[in-house]
A and B are shown apart, each in its own frame.
Chain A
Amino acid sequence: MASNLGASAHGSSSRSLQDATVRLLAKFFKADWSGALLAILIISVAVELTTSGMSVFEPSNVMTILNNSAAIGVIAGGMTLVILTAGIDLSVGSVVGLCGALTGYLVSFWGFSPVEAILAGLGIGGVIGLIHGILIARFGMPAFIVTLAGLSIWRGAAHLSTGAKATPQLPEAFNWFGRLNPLEALRAAYQSGKLPAWLNGVSAFLDTNWVGYFRTFQMSMVIFIVFFVILSVIVSNTIYGRYVFAIGSSEAGARQAGINTVRYKLLTYVFCSLSAALGALLILGRAPYAKSDYGQGWELDAIAAVVIGGTSLFGGRGTIWGTFLGVILLKLINNGLTLAQLNTFWQMIVTGMIILIAVGLDLVRQSRSPESVRRFLAAVGAAMAFFTLLTPASLWLRAAVALHEHYSVTGLREGGAQLASSQSERLLSPAQLQALATQMGGSFWPTVACLLPLALSVVSIATKSRLVSFAVCAVFAVSAYAMATAGFSAAVPFLVLGAVAVAGSLLVLNAFERARKLHEIEA
């Protein structure tokens, strides 16, 4: 004992730093929402690196993302409760459409005051939830079927009752649910000199930094955050919250323990539809008018956000803040890809891949096995090598395809066929042919060269050999330099990220060992 204390005087400080890091990492990864947070950080950094002049991390952009996440966010929040009870609600998109359209209709054409129309909209949401709840909880019909029927019925009702026509612009009262900036009044008062002196300092700061920091501080994000704070307090600190988890884990067990499962399930579906009605109001706060086709397909986005946030579809496990992060991740993808001005069709592919990766991250995190984490990091390295390969390969492929199309259309024409306009567009001029040939020549050898890091990194996934992983890191570093000098500097961030991932995979086993010794995880 004493010898240990004495001998490790030097080593102890670095040891305890290591231990602190390991402890922190262990605590982080045990949380259900850590997968979503990691994915958000990675994507933000990736987008930041690829956009020029438009930053993801700028405060007004962050707030824009929050503002746009508000409507889908509150809907996903309500959906989380339902999914925690091992249920599902497929009708939320249609409830958004119905409540939004009717609220707008009542205020525009029936002479209701905004407050009355808003209460009516929320009331309709509550009644719909009650209907779902009675059918599902009291009569035992499957939630999937009831809410699937609801998806059609409420959407049809929305179109029928409003004739599918848009309302004119809604009264300003609705801005309280959306684009109203609570700081606007303060700034206006400051600019017209009507403020008491002690507020001047703050207001001057507000005014000078308005466009960069405060312009997008709007009610949408305020309501979004307040809603989630309240919801998380309810879920973690009330009896209702505890019963929700109990029912989700085992409904029969909960019933036998004396919990009135019918009442609490019913309440959950009411909350879910009420959240959808609130979501409709949040849309109305930013939209040009009310219309019965809002919210189409939003049930799938809500479920995706809930699952990405770490909540299990089988119920009983999950967090509200995980859903919050899941929603932000989905909106961040849209926002980031727009700022990066990525080709539309690539955006569709990248969106799907990011969702896969986020869920994969979560699965690996849950497995708690060092081998699967190591493999995951090695797979990230391989993916980075693949994107590196794509950088010259896409140039080569595009040129090869264009040339091939040119020759096949020429062949068709010489065979005497009539060409449609879209086909004759594929014919190229001699200058273009020359340019393509040069492009192919210039990108062929870099493409072949990139096959090496890819092959090596795929091997490193399968084998536990640390030598291979070291070799991969070294090859990535050399390739980064080579690509930069060969004029393919777009590939460098991929190679750097890949090298970091593979280096991380080397440390995984040690980190797990240490965590076990510190009793952070079971042996």
Chain B
Amino acid sequence: MLNIARGIGAAVIVAMTVVPAFAQEKTVGYITKSATNAGWIMINQGAADAAKSEGVKLIEVGPTFAGDLTKQLEIFENLVGQHVDAIGIAPVDSSGIAPAVKDATSAGIPIVAIDTAVNGADVTSFVATDNVAVAKVQGAIAATLVSDGAAIIYVTGDKAQSTGQDRYNGFMSAFKAARPKSEILEVPTVWDSNQAQEGVEAIINQRKDIKMIVSAWDGGTMAAKSALQNLGYKAGEVKLVGFDGAADAVAAMDQGWVQANTAQMLYQMGYQGIKAAAAAARGQQVEKRIDTGFFLITPSTVDTYKAMIDIK
């Protein structure tokens, strides 16, 4: 009797520990770069939807302001300490995040990099647009909008990050090949739209011969539009080319301000990223590099794009 009781007791204890471990939901940590940028809101929506469809618990955290690397590192440590099953991260700084990634990988947690690559540490998967290739498309289409020799402005992103560098290099190589005689004035920013607006205003004010402003992200596109409005320009007098395909830039295209925009499939980036993280958490193989593709928005294709991402 006692033996049977002991046996049943042992079986119950084993069942209580083992069964929940199997039935237990996987947790995936998701460290964003920004919670307030219009583009990032779409990415985060994709991530949330992926978590729901994969049946994993998503812990979404972001730094209190965009660009705060130390905060991201802290969040990383916290998530590792909580023993999450996988982490998806959009690094603020490609090299700065590498030590934390190495730590997490050695603790057995698969890491998926989203949107920005990690330099100096291996990740399970890198889910992003091929920023160089898309920026080259941006450069090519921008070149068709101006003649050779016309002066243009390029609003950069943070060139200390891989995203900023890739978009800059891709655009420059394609544009300079097509329009070698054009002068390109740069407005450097760290993805801050206020910096972009002030820089564009300062240059446009003095150079009356600027024909086009190209931005590395749509925060810059909207800032350039604002700068032009501040100086009394009308839509279409100076052409605008964007990157990201954010909703407000699409609206600006409808109003005639923006002539072309290379849209990242932002929702897909978040979706595929967390989907890969969930698969890795379950121990499945994931592809090392997932290219989420892009869409070239022009006034003729804008309706297709809107239908695709569900804007009215």
Contact = CB atoms under 8 A, between A and B. Distances in A.
Interface of A: 53-55, 58, 60-61, 64-65, 67-68, 152, 155, 159, 164-166, 168, 178-179, 181, 211, 215-216, 218, 283, 286-289, 291-294, 296-297, 331, 334-335, 338-339, 341, 344-345, 347
Interface in B190-232: 194-195, 197-199, 201-203, 205-208, 222-223, 225-226, 229-232
25 contacts: A53-B206, A54-B203, A60-B206, A61-B202, A64-B202, A65-B202, A68-B202, A155-B64, A155-B65, A165-B41, A178-B230, A216-B231, A283-B194, A287-B197, A289-B248, A291-B36, A293-B66, A294-B194, A335-B198, A339-B203, A339-B206, A341-B185, A341-B186, A344-B159, A344-B188
Contacts of B187: 338
Given A68-B198, A291-B36, A296-B65, A215 B231 contact: yes
Contact of A55 (B41, B64, B186, B206): B206
Given A64-B201, A338-B187, A338-B199, A179 B230 contact: yes
B225 A288 contact: yes
A64 B205 contact: yes
B211 to A, nearest CB: 16
B38 A166 contact: yes
B183 to A, nearest CB: 10
- Give the 5 A-B CB pairs with smallest separation, nearest first: A344-B188, A293-B36, A288-B226, A164-B36, A179-B230
B66 A287 contact: no
A168 B254 CA distance: 14
A61 B207 CA distance: 11
A341 B206 CA distance: 13
B256 to A, nearest CB: 14
A293 B33 CA distance: 13
Contacts of A347: 188
A291 B41 CA distance: 13
A216 B207 CA distance: 14
Contact of A288 (B186, B202, B222, B232): B222
A58 B198 contact: no
B159 to A, nearest CB: 6
Contacts of B232: 181, 215
Interface of B: 35-38, 41, 64-66, 156, 159-160, 185-188, 194-195, 197-199, 201-203, 205-208, 222-223, 225-226, 229-232, 248, 251
A152 B64 contact: yes
Contacts of B159: 344-345
A68 B201 contact: yes
Contact of B36 (A216, A283, A292): A292
Contacts of B65: 155, 293, 296-297
Contacts of A345: 159-160
A289 B232 CA distance: 17
A344 B159 CA distance: 8
Contacts of A289: 222, 248
B226 A54 contact: no
A294 B197 CA distance: 13
Contacts of A292: 36
Contacts of B156: 344
B186 A166 contact: no
Contacts of A283: 194
Contacts of A296: 65-66
Contacts, number: 95
Interface of B: prevailing SS: helix
Nearest to B226: A288
Contacts of B198: 68, 331, 334-335, 338
A400 B159 CA distance: 24
Contacts of A152: 64
The CB with the most chain B CB atoms within 10 A, among A159, A215, A287, is that of A287
A338 B64 contact: no
Contacts of A339: 202-203, 206
Contacts of B206: 53-55, 58, 60-61, 339
B205 A334 contact: no
B244 to A, nearest CB: 13
A431 B187 CA distance: 33
A419 to B, nearest CB: 15
A338 B229 contact: no
Nearest to A60: B205
A395 B232 CA distance: 43
A159 B36 CA distance: 8
B163 to A, nearest CB: 15
A338 B36 contact: no
Nearest to B204: A64
Given A164-B41, A215-B231, A216-B231, A338 B203 contact: yes
B35 A159 contact: yes
Nearest to B165: A422
A168 B188 CA distance: 26
Given A296-B65, A335-B202, 10 more contacts: A54-B207, A61-B202, A65-B202, A178-B230, A218-B230, A283-B194, A286-B226, A288-B226, A334-B198, A344-B186
A137 to B, nearest CB: 28
Contacts of A286: 197, 226, 230
Contacts of A218: 230
A297 B37 CA distance: 16
Contact of B205 (A61, A165, A293, A341): A61
Given A181-B232, A286-B230, A338-B202, A211 B208 contact: yes
A166 B41 CA distance: 11
Nearest to A58: B206
Nearest to B189: A344
**Max chain A Cβ within 10 angstroms of own Cβ: one of B188, B207, B223, B229:** B188
Given A155-B64, A218-B230, A335-B198, A288 B223 contact: yes
A513 to B, nearest CB: 45
A48 to B, nearest CB: 12
A331 B199 CA distance: 10
A192 B198 CA distance: 33
Contacts of A338: 187-188, 198-199, 202-203
A38 to B, nearest CB: 23
B248 A166 contact: yes
A345 B158 CA distance: 10
A150 B221 CA distance: 32
A98 B187 CA distance: 28
A369 B197 CA distance: 44
Nearest to B257: A288
Of B185, B186, B202, B248, chain A has the most CB atoms within 10 Å of the CB of B202
Contacts of B248: 166, 168, 288-289
A164 B222 contact: no
Contacts of A67: 201, 230
Contact of A164 (B35, B195, B208, B231): B35
A60 B204 CA distance: 11
A441 B19 CA distance: 74
